[in-house]
Amino acid sequence: MAFQDKVLVCKDCGKEFVFTAGEQEFYAQKGFENEPSRCKACRDARKASRRDFGGRRTQRTLYDAVCADCGAATKVPFKPRNDRPVYCSECFKKHKVASES
């Protein structure tokens, strides 16, 4: 498949940026299906905003929850809602494997 440079528009800053043929080939090799939606400067800024000054990831807020399958107490990085089940890590893996089959 021959790739050609494409001009895309960044969804954050609105500036045009080039999605090069080499980048497209890399995306294809990795199995990525979506084109980048942000320019390099905005991607870098977004990554930097998720890190604290020491270069480590900032602390995520974790919420207490009870696994809908096994009943174990667990912590999740999102606020649980009553209309959706929440699973512990082990049960989540089981559901993920079952849905991929």
pTM of the model: 0.49
Q: Which residue has the higher pLDDT, 51 or 54?
A: 51
Write down how long the chain is: 101
The DSSP annotation for 52-98 comes to: -TTSSBPPPP-EEEE-TTT--EEEESS---TTS----HHHHHHHHHH
Domain parsing of the chain, residue ranges? 6-49, 63-100
Taking all residues of the chain, what is their mean pLDDT, rounded to a whole number? 88
State yes or no: pLDDT of 97 exceeds 70. yes
Structure tokens at 10: 């960044």
CA-wise closest residue to 69 among 81, 86, 93: 86
pLDDT grade for 96, boundaries at 50, 70 and 90: confident
Average pLDDT over residues 4-20: 95
pLDDT, residue 99, reads: 75
